[in-house]
Each structure stands twice: as C-alpha cells, then as structure tokens.
Structure 1
Amino acid sequence: MSTTIAPSIETIESTVLDNGLRVFVKPDSRAPIAVSQIWYRVGSSYEQRGVTGISHLLEHMMFKGTPRYPEGVFSEIVSRQGSRENAFTGRDFTAYFEILAADRLPVAFELEADRMANLDIRDKALQTERQVVLEERRLRTDDRPEGRFLERYGAVAEAGTAYAHPVIGWADDINAIDEHDLKHWYRQWYTPANANLVVTGAVDPSEVFELAEAHFGILQGPQAVQPCDPRALTPPGERRLVYRDAQSQLTHLRIGYRVPSFATAETEEDAYALMMLAVILDGGEGGRLTDALVRGSGQATIVSSAYNGMTRLDAEFTCHAVCPNNQTETLEQSLKSQIARLSGEPISESELRRARSQLIADHFLNADDIFNQAMQIGQLEAIGAGWETFSKLEHKVQSISQAQLQAVAGRYLKAENSVVGILSPFESEAKCE
C-alpha cells in the first residue's frame, strides 16, 4: 500500500491499496458525521448502442442483495444506524453513498465491499428493476415535452461523442438488456482498480486507510479496460434542431457550444474563464442576459447560461431562453449578439468583480457541506482532472484578465462549435431562419 499526502492547506490525504482502489480522505470535525462515497469510473458514456442505460440499470440492481446480505437487508442495516444511503449514475461515473455517524463508518465499508464483489444478479430482480427504470424514463422524458426535446437536442449537440445517448438509455436497449449483459458489465467495471473511495467528515485519515485495507484490500479484480474515446473532438459544424410538440405550452430556445472541460482543456485557465463567462451572461438578476432580454426588450420570459466543466470529454457552454411569442428568430439573433459581445469588447471591471465574487462565494458555500466536499473530490477524480483542480479556484478566478476572457470567448463561442435547438408547440410555426 503506497500513500501520498496532499498539501496540508487542503487537508486531503490519499492512498492506493495494492489492488488498485484509491482512497481519499478529507477530515472535517465540526460535527460527528461522516460521508462515505464509492465511485466507479463507468457511466453512460462508456456504453455502446444496444446496451445504453446499462450503467443506470446496474445501479438499481446493486440494491437487490448479495448472498450475505439479501435484498432489503443492506438498507435495513443502514437505517438501523440512523443513516442515509443512495446512489446516482452520470455520464462518467456511478456512485454510491452513506451519510452516517462517524463511528459507524465500518458498517458502510463492510456493506459496500460486499456488494463490490458479491452482487447476486437474478433475472427475476432484473425484470422488476427494468420496469422501474422504464417508468422513471416515462416520467422524466417520454411524458414531458421538455424531456423529449432535450433528449433529441443531446443527440444532435453531442453527435459523434459518447455523450449522444441519454444516461437512462434508449427504451429499446433497456428492454433488451439481459442477465448476462449485467453480469458482464458488473465484472468488467465493478473492480477495486476502477473505483475511488471518498470519505469526508469527523474521521482520522490513518484510521480510514486501515479500515479500507481491512474491508476492501482483500478484494481482487481485473484492471478495467478504458474506453477509446478521443479526449477532444473537432465539432461537426453548426447544427440545428427544430422539434415541434403538441403538448408543449412554451417555446424554448437553446444555443450550445462545444468547449473544453477541466479534463480536456489545454490550460486550466480556459475552463475557469468559461465559468466566468457563463456568470457574466447569467449571474441571476445582475447578468447581461436578464438585463437585456427579459427586463430590457422583453424577448424572453426566462433566460440563463451555464457551463459544466466536470466531464471527462469536452463539455458544453449553453444559453437557454423561453420565448413568449414564438419569435425565435429575433431572440436567437439577440442571444448570439450577447455572446459575440464577450469576444468583441472588453468586459467591464464591475462585471468582472461581480463574476469573481459570485464564483468564489458559491465555491466556498458549496465546500462548507461535507457531502458536497466528497462530491467534488469524487467527480474531479472520476473525470480525470484530479481533486487538486478546485483547490486553485480562488486564485485562478482572481487572476483571469479581461483579455483572457475575450480570447477564450473568441476561440470557443463561435458558429462552427454551435448547435441551435428550438422546441415549439406543434401548431406554431417558430421562425428559425
């Protein structure tokens, strides 16, 4: 077992067990609580057509029991400790967590280590969970105009990448996945060498490492085969989607740009600059878009921008607006004009100060919660950016200049990187040219 200790300023320590499991610990003794999260580096972007949704379906199956702890016993044990547990699947990871009294951490480790190695995948349980997932898909996507639109938008916006299909999977694939598929997926990806264990809270790192060695160190498994995705793809050119839906009551406009993530950016400054540009455009009531398009011209009733750089492949910088009169052509040009301003003219000092203050305040507010601390470590490690990335956030945000923001906007927020998506009521004729 080799150990590395991170800089004391962050008080994050890590170790790698002999079987490849990586363990990260961030002590926070303000309350006698601990968060335990186990992150597997596999999600929907690791899937191929035919088995889309299998990562999420396996997440459901992980609660169906092992020979030692049959179905329902895991949750019963956690509940008896006065604790909470759940799981989530993303494009780049699947994670399981417990929130519990710090002295109950051995219980979480014992349960998670057992189902990492001994999951009992049975066809009867699969049939039950398949219907649960299909119902979840119906509620979130199939029965909602916005869900149907976003699924189609994603397929166009992420064309040629592993992000083009939804995390929950396509319905025909969910129906086709069988017991053999799940067992293969479980054996391939649910291995210590493909997992990160993250613990935050009132814990001692050396004790956590000993505990991890006792419960997880005895497990064996193959090295996971990493997907052969390019780190960055040349965008296929300007794309366009117009989706008319009879059940839609509102007209939505989305403009997205393929941009680097923290994992794919040539320099970290590019990713931090994109974060700042999104806040300058949005940033609540003080953002440019609300000021110009809602309070100013009234072309939109709702408008926002967003950048999530926490992805292992390239990310998306998105602007979204709800159009009150179906005049999407005018709104689209206004949105693009606001985006062009980012590279065409210097950002004012007052806007720069506001964006910096908001990002730094949000960062520290988020980091005040031990669950969010674990989430940040887990996500950054899962995408390959490294937990140290956000330890530099305050310094990076403070140091990025107006010229850097203009340069990044000009480099990435341009037509050949873009996709335009319009959702409109079926009977309307949303102007899109």
Structure 2
Amino acid sequence: MTLIVKPDRRAPTAVHMVWVRVGSMDEVDGTSGVAHLLEHMMFKGTPTVKAGDFSRKVAALGGRENAFTSKDYTGYLQQIPSAKLEDVMRLEADRFANNTWTDEVFAKELEVVKEERRLRTEDKPHARLHEAMDAVIYQADPYRRPIVGWMSDLESMTADDARAFYRRWYTPTNAAVIVAGDVDVDAVRVLAERYYGTLPVHALPQRKPRTEPEQTGMRRLDFKAPAEQAYVALAFKVPGLQPAGLPATAAASTDATSEDALALTVLSAVLSGYDGARLPRALTLSDKPVADEAGAYYGLTARGPQLFTLYGIPAVGKTATEVEAALRAQVALVAKDGVTEAELTRVKNRWVAGEVYKQDSVFNQARLLGVSWINGFPLGADQLLLERLRRVTAAQVQAVAAKYFGDDALTVATLLPQPVDSTRKPRVPAVGLRH
C-alpha cells in the first residue's frame, strides 16, 4: 500500500484519505454502477463496527467524513483534529479489509442509489443528455457507462455483485493512504505500518485494454427532454496529459501528445477561463448575443481518454445550430489568428493563482496528491505542471486549435426542449445520499 504524507502545520487538523484505483471504468457490462454502490456499502459495517457507526465515531472525534466515486477511482476521507489520526486510521483499515453486510442491508441501500440516480440524472435534462452523449462518443471504451449505473443494471444488481467487486479490487496494492496536515512523517509511517501494513494482499486481475476504435466521422445526437431552453454540447476527442509528459524534473518533455494536452489546457482557459474570455465575450456579452451561456472545459488528466467540450444555451430567438456554429467559429478564429500575449499571460496568471490558493486547503493538498497517484504522476506533480504550463507558447495554443477540432473527432448532442409538467412536484432527496 502506498503511503504519502504532506505536513502542513498551520492548523491542528489533518486529512486522512484512502484512494483505490478502481472506478466505473473497471466495471463490466451488466453491473454498471457497482463501484459507486460499493462506496455506499463501505459505510455498512464490519464484524466490529455496526452499520452507521463509522460516521458516528468520526463525528464523535470532532471530524467529518465522506466518500466519492469517479470513472477512475474511489476515495474515502476524514478531516479530524490531528491528535485523532490514529483513531480514523484504525477505523478505515478495518472497513477496507473487513467490510461486510447482509443482503437485506444491501437491498435497502440499493434503493437509495436508485433514488440518487433519479434525483441527479433522470430529473435533470442536461445530465441525461451528457449520459446519452457518452454512450455515443465511446463504442468500446468503458467511459461510455455512467458512474451511477444504468437503471436496468441497478434493478438487477445483487449483493454478490458488489461483494465480488470488493474482493477483486480492494487490496492494499491497489490503494494509497494520503495524510496531510499537522502531522509528523515518521509518526504517520508507524501508524500506517500498524494498521495498514498487516492487511492481507491478493493479486489484482489483469486490466485488459478496451481501446476505442478510431472515429471516422461526426456523430450527432438529438435528445428530447422536458426543459425550458435548448442546449448544445460539442465533444472533441483529444489527447490527455500522460506521466511521460511530467518527468520528475522540470526539464522539457519529449512527449508530444502531453505537450498538446498542456496547450489544450491553456486554450480552454482562453475560451472560457474568466468572465471576459472569448466565448462569453463573443456569444453572450455582444450587442446581439447568440447564447445566454457559453463555455468550454477540458480535463487534462485521467486514466482513460480525454474530451474537449464546448457548450451553449441559445438566447431568445436563436437556435442550437447557431450556437454550435458560433462556438466552432471561436476555435477556428484561434486556429487562424492565434492568441495574444496578453491573453496568454492572463490565463497563466489565473491558473497559477488558483493552484496556489488551493494549497490553503489541507483537503485540496491531499486531493491533489491522490489524483496524481491515481494517474501515475510523480510526487510534486502539481508544481511540475505549473512550470510546464508557464512555458506554453501562443504558437502551441494556435497549433492545437488547428489540429484537434475537425469533424472526425466530434460528437454533437442537442437538447430539444419538450413541454415541462408544471404540476410535477420536485423530488425530495432520499435519506442516505452522501455527496
């Protein structure tokens, strides 16, 4: 089990996290959602800790706790007074190795997760559109499945499905313990050896490659749902940052795709990284706005493939087609004329400032270390990334704008608004939703 410790003595608190390198991308068809459901079940007890007692014990220590599941990973966290670190280590190691629950408890929690899906996906047209869009973008890659799972898979999910997933992936060699805050490195190592060093280990299953076939033409999805306004999203397949692109020194990388990934990060900020960025300025703040909202986002790092997404909501009297054309025109403008040094300096300064401000939060320090470990980056990757981003040139930004935004890499999804039932009452969140 990997142990990463980052002392920060500004306050007498500590964040303790366990990251498991398993997420929805590691599921198989028919059991989508099991990684997230298992996250819920990890709070349902061990032979020595009753269901629900984990959270109560952390609260009694003066702390707070939560958990999260993504396509790439599952994480568990506690923020506690640093003097209580040993107590949460003991609790977390116990449930990591000894999680157990009855079929009846599983069935009850399954209903909570199904309600979570209804509340956060099925009741939200944009969420439903993006879920359907992922299934169009990817044919073979497991990113095509939703993290919460398809409802039909949840309906047929069994307790043994979750138990098998737990036994398969929850082993120390597939996990990292990350501690940040008012702690001593040597003391944390002693505690980690005591509580995690003796946990049983088993071999991980082979992660078989599920390579996405090359896309050879634009894909389109028209999605009908009750909504007040139309919405359009354009997703382009682009490269992400790879570990080879962040070597353990600040020396320039020879990994060309990672160089492009860094330039795409800057392009995203130029288009949508601040109030006066290109997309809001051209589409929403002009004398004749095309859109009520417009933006771009790009993930940079992930275990799986990356997308660069543009999106917009048409203004009154405008269509999704017009917004789509306006979004693409702004990227084409960068490809043709490039970006100014003033823009480049502004987005770099904002990025650096944002990364520095993140360090004010002990939780964010631990989170950044966890994400880096999941993706195979070296310690100190956040600082290496800043140094690399500072060196991105205007020519590189112009080059990626010209290289990656053609039709053959594009999927367009359009929300076609349907009448909204004004008599329908908002859904009330079920007890037990954690996030």
Same topology, TM > 0.5: yes
The one-letter code of the counterpart of 2:314 is C
TM-score, normalised via structure 1 length: 0.90
Structure 1 pair 150–326 and aligned structure 2 pair: CA distance change class (3 A) = farther
* Equivalent position SS for 2:291: coil
| 8 A contact 1:263–1:313 mirrored in 2 | no
2:364 matched residue in structure 1? 372
Q: Does residue 55 of structure 2 align to residue 75 of structure 1?
A: yes
1:290 matched residue in structure 2? 280
The one-letter code of the counterpart of 2:14 is A
The one-letter code of the counterpart of 1:214 is R
Q: Quick one: distance in 1 between partners of 2:127 and 2:156? A: 22
1:248 matched residue in structure 2? 227
Note the C-alpha offset of 1:23.
0.6
Deviations 1:336-379 (A, max 9, x none): 11111222222111111111111111111122211011111101
1:40 matched residue in structure 2? 20
| 8 A contact 1:38–1:97 mirrored in 2 | yes
| 8 A contact 2:3–2:177 mirrored in 1 | yes
Structure 1 pair 233–378 and aligned structure 2 pair: CA distance change class (3 A) = farther
Q: Quick one: distance in 1 between partners of 2:344 and 2:335? A: 14
The one-letter code of the counterpart of 1:378 is G
The one-letter code of the counterpart of 1:50 is G
1:431 matched residue in structure 2? none
Q: 1:304 aligns with which of 295, 298, 303?
A: 295
Q: Quick one: distance in 2 between partners of 1:269 and 1:144? A: 36
| 8 A contact 2:140–2:210 mirrored in 1 | no
| 8 A contact 1:360–1:393 mirrored in 2 | no
Alignment of 1:11-410 (within 5 A): 21-229=1-209, 234-245=214-225, 247-263=226-242, 266-267=255-256, 268-296=258-286, 297-324=288-315, 325-410=317-402
Query: Aligned-residue CA RMSD in angstroms?
Result: 1.7
Gaps of 5+ in 2: 246-254, 421-435
Note the C-alpha offset of 1:309.
1.7
Q: 1:421 aligns with which of 383, 407, 413?
A: 413
1:8 matched residue in structure 2? none
| 8 A contact 2:336–2:398 mirrored in 1 | yes
1:4 matched residue in structure 2? none
Q: Quick one: distance in 2 between partners of 1:223 and 1:31? A: 40
Number of aligned residues:
407
Note the C-alpha offset of 1:133.
0.1
| 8 A contact 1:121–1:183 mirrored in 2 | no
Q: Quick one: distance in 1 between partners of 2:128 and 2:191? A: 46
Deviations 1:298-332 (A, max 9, x none): 00001111111231111111111111235122221
The one-letter code of the counterpart of 1:23 is L
Tell me which moved more, 68-77 or 134-143: 68-77
Structure 1 pair 235–383 and aligned structure 2 pair: CA distance change class (3 A) = farther
Q: Quick one: distance in 2 between partners of 1:231 and 1:399? A: 32
Q: Quick one: distance in 1 between partners of 2:333 and 2:277? A: 13
| 8 A contact 1:326–1:424 mirrored in 2 | no
Q: Quick one: distance in 1 between partners of 2:136 and 2:4? A: 37
TM-score, normalised via structure 2 length: 0.90
Note the C-alpha offset of 1:388.
3.4
Structure 1 pair 226–390 and aligned structure 2 pair: CA distance change class (3 A) = farther
Note the C-alpha offset of 1:209.
1.1
The one-letter code of the counterpart of 1:329 is T
Deviations 1:71-126 (A, max 9, x none): 12211211111000110000010100000011111011101110111111310111
Q: Quick one: distance in 2 between partners of 1:231 and 1:319? A: 24
Q: Quick one: distance in 1 between partners of 2:107 and 2:300? A: 36
Note the C-alpha offset of 1:418.
1.1
2:432 matched residue in structure 1? none
Gaps of 5+ in 1: 1-20, 429-433
Q: Quick one: distance in 1 between partners of 2:217 and 2:242? A: 22
Note the C-alpha offset of 1:399.
0.9
Q: Quick one: distance in 2 between partners of 1:410 and 1:164? A: 27
Q: Quick one: distance in 2 between partners of 1:168 and 1:381? A: 23
Structure 1 pair 344–384 and aligned structure 2 pair: CA distance change class (3 A) = same
